[in-house]
Amino acid sequence: MKAVCVLTGDGSAKGVVRFSQETAKSPLHIVGSFEGLTPGKHGFHVHGFGDRTDGCTSAGAHFNPTKCNHGAREDAVRHVGDLGNITAGSDGKATCDFSDNMMSLYGEHSVIGRCLVVHAGEDDLGKGGHELSLTTGNSGGRVACGVIGIAKSD
């Protein structure tokens, strides 16, 4: 199965992320490109709702069907929607290319119909000691988002 997300925001931040997964039990492959970001790290998460009626704010909290604390993508205990950070260069561009074993396009951990959000600041991966570290990674406001939708398969 394949999915795609086109992210936009109020400013210049935008991006396209593609998702592909062979079967419900295989890892989810995520590839994306972004531009218009401020240089540095930006938190990158799937949020609970595919609602953009009030911009990126109406996407809700991080997608967390397991009711765990926020963490790094590599952590065994984390929100399903936690994807860590993307890093924008001095030109405002960033890319990502990785696989994830917790997030899926199938079943109860499916991200189809949910919002992918890029944040203004760095995600502390739940390790920063800030009051928001274990819920949001203290990654700041939402600069771009888009709804993840089913894409045409090859």
**Domain coordinates in residue numbering, the chain:** 2-151
Alpha carbon of 23 to those of 26, 32, 91, 105: distances in Å?
Answer: 5, 21, 37, 9
pLDDT value for 113: 98
Is 45 an annotated catalytic residue? yes
Whether the per-residue pLDDT at 10 is higher than 90: the answer is no
pLDDT value for 78: 94
pLDDT value for 34: 98
List 73, 119, 123, 124, catalytic entry: 119
Confidence of residue 26 (pLDDT cuts 50, 70, 90): very high
pLDDT value for 154: 74
For 2-151, CATH gives 2.60.40.200
List 42, 73, 78, 82, catalytic entry: 82
Is 47 an annotated catalytic residue? yes
Is 70 an annotated catalytic residue? yes
